Structure 1
Amino acid sequence: MSLSKWAGFVVTAALLSGCQIKPQMEKTQLTKAELKTLFAGKTVESYSLSSGATSFTYYSPDGRARQVRFWEPRDGYWKVTDDNEICLSMEGKDFSCRPVFQEGDRYYKYRMDGDEWVRVIRYRQFIDGDRL
């Protein structure tokens, strides 16, 4: 093997030795009971993965919701379905329902895009009580 080929081999091997394949994080859909425990009576910080917007929502145990998004307050309602989805209806609009999955120590809201689940919201923190 020529010196230039040997040097190319060594450089390539060194570069590849630093590469790691990130293991796929197993995701588990939360149940109705888990969703109620996680959200009810909490102020939740949400991060939109598409727009980059952050919002804070208080999920009252009585089904009311108060949210601050873009520094503007909004009122609405929330519920959890028997299909294990959390639903929000803000400012009189129809309920939008989506499943929430846990991946390691993180929580994500997903939507179906064709035949594939796509992350739409990352829940950053769940704080006890109404912090709005």
Structure 2
Amino acid sequence: MTVVDTGLSAEYAAIYAYGAATVHLEGDPRSTAEALEAEHRSRRDTLLDFYDEHGLEAVPSEAGYGIEPVGDAAAAQELLLAVEQNVTAVWRAGVASTEPTEREICLTMYGASAVSLARFRLATEASVADPWPGRPE
């Protein structure tokens, strides 16, 4: 599995989580969640186009992902924050690839995911101060 495959898998998981969690949100957090889900779908589509253009087979999405049932807005926000942190960490790790095309994709996706993470934090009034988004703790 390449680092781009890993990133695509993370994008699939994010889309799944947003589908399960967004319905529990209201106001700005919901609007932001809907916009971020659309961004994850756009990133997924960009990656699928990359695979098609290069004659590669993309990893498929899974039928389901191991998330706990979401019962309220607090759980939804917690889940989506963890998802955004995970996606950012995956793309950040991919930047270390020694293959130039993979590194370029990962760097682009890392930048986009770091912005998404900050936007979600702002929408939920969480701290945005993170000089190295996606860095393991």
TM-score by length of 1: 0.23
TM-score by length of 2: 0.23
Structure that is richer in helix per residue: 2
Q: Which has the higher contact order (CA 8 A, sep 6+)?
A: 2
Q: Which has the larger radius of gyration?
A: 1
